Chain A
Amino acid sequence: MKRAFLFGLSFCLVGSFILLIIEYKKCVNLKAESVILNKEITNLKAQLEEIPLTVSNLEAAQKEIKLAKDKPIKEYEKWVRQNQILEDLLK
């Protein structure tokens, strides 16, 4: 009876150790995943923080070019409109 109890207890102990190892590994993996995710988030946030500057620089450049090339841009847009009329008729 005592032997059986002893075996039972030992089995539980081994089982709990196995579960412990599994949970520990899971914990390590989750932590690693968490580190990777945090890193990615930090990187993306840094990139996103730079975007407004890039956008404002590009918009400024676009405005500058628009001003400098106002006439040809309008001419181009006119040709695009005229061409679209023909494209629609040819469909």
Chain B
Amino acid sequence: MGKTKSNFRRFIKIIFNLLMGIKITLIISIIILIILTTFNQRLQKENAHLKYQLNNLKTIYNQKTEEIKEVETAITTMKDIDNHIIEIKKTFFANAQKYEDIVLAGRGTKKIVYLTIDDGPYNLTNYFLDTLDKHDVLATFFLLGKPDDRYDVIYKRIASSGHTVANHTYSHNVPRLYSNKTAFIDDVLKQEKFLEDKLGVKTNIVRFPGGAHSAAKKVRTGIATELRQRRYGYIDWNVSAGDCSRKSNVTTIYNNVINGVLNNKVSVVLMHDFSLNTSLALPLIIETLEKQDCIFLPLFYESAVVRK
């Protein structure tokens, strides 16, 4: 009986110890759990903050990378600027041709004006170039051959400003040029070589000194055929500034151009850069024509107004 009692007491003691052990373990694990949960919450907060910081850094990094890419693209463009100029010119003249077709079909919103300046270079050519630059307008210069060094800068300025460099023969010697076809073609080719040597530009548009009708019909036909074979186009004008006349002044030149352009969809305006009056009238001519919804284009071989 006593043994059973002692066994029972031992059992109770074991159970009691077990319960105590479980309780203590439970309390410890709960404490650890609380500590871990608190720690995890703190970690979660820290990580959320880190993610926010990382996102901000990524945004800044992406912005900076974009900026770098832009600068790199700009540098690549600059390094390859000559090719880019060739490409943009091609696009420009293709667009010019498209727009000219639209205008000639009577659908354009703006009329086209080709400003053509003959017989240069002269010292006064700089005034013309200043005005054209100031108004961001491109024109066409029908140049003669003037080997005098003082004109080198002007030749180069015309070409580097983007104006069309066109051929007006080397000599402008009307009696000799129209005596026969060969005299005219030789002079055109001499001027072609002169400009190519000086500017690296090969001309493909020519204007007959005094206009195509200055040549007798037979000579003119022969010249036109020969020019076509040599892939040259030629062009006269449908508006004249009248600046060759001694009676001309700034007002008459202005009126001649403005009234001449009025009725044309496409105007080819003849001017001369030996005329101080024309250089004085030019700013107002450009401003007035711009207000009258005209755009100024430089001539190009493919233009419908260039005869081929």
Contacts and interface: CB of A to CB of B under 8 A. Distances in A.
Nearest to A89: B99
Nearest to B34: A23
B26 A44 contact: no
B44 A6 contact: no
Contact of B85 (A10, A34, A37, A76): A76
A33 B160 contact: no
Contacts of B95: 83, 86-87, 90
A55 interface: yes
A38 B68 contact: no
Contact of B58 (A16, A24, A44, A62): A44
Contact of A82 (B33, B75, B138): B138
Interface in A3-52: 5-6, 9-10, 12-13, 16-17, 19-20, 23-24, 26-27, 30-31, 33-34, 37-38, 40-41, 44-45, 47-48, 51
Nearest to B37: A23
A9 B19 contact: yes
Interface centre among B58, B85, B109 (most CB of A within 10 A): B85
B18 A34 contact: no
A62 to B, nearest CB: 5
A6 B15 contact: yes
Interface of B: 15, 18-19, 22-23, 25-26, 29-30, 32-33, 36-37, 39-40, 43-44, 46-47, 50-51, 53-54, 57-58, 60-61, 64, 67-68, 71-72, 74-75, 77-79, 81-82, 84-85, 88-89, 91-92, 95-96, 98-99, 102, 108-110, 136, 138, 160-162, 295
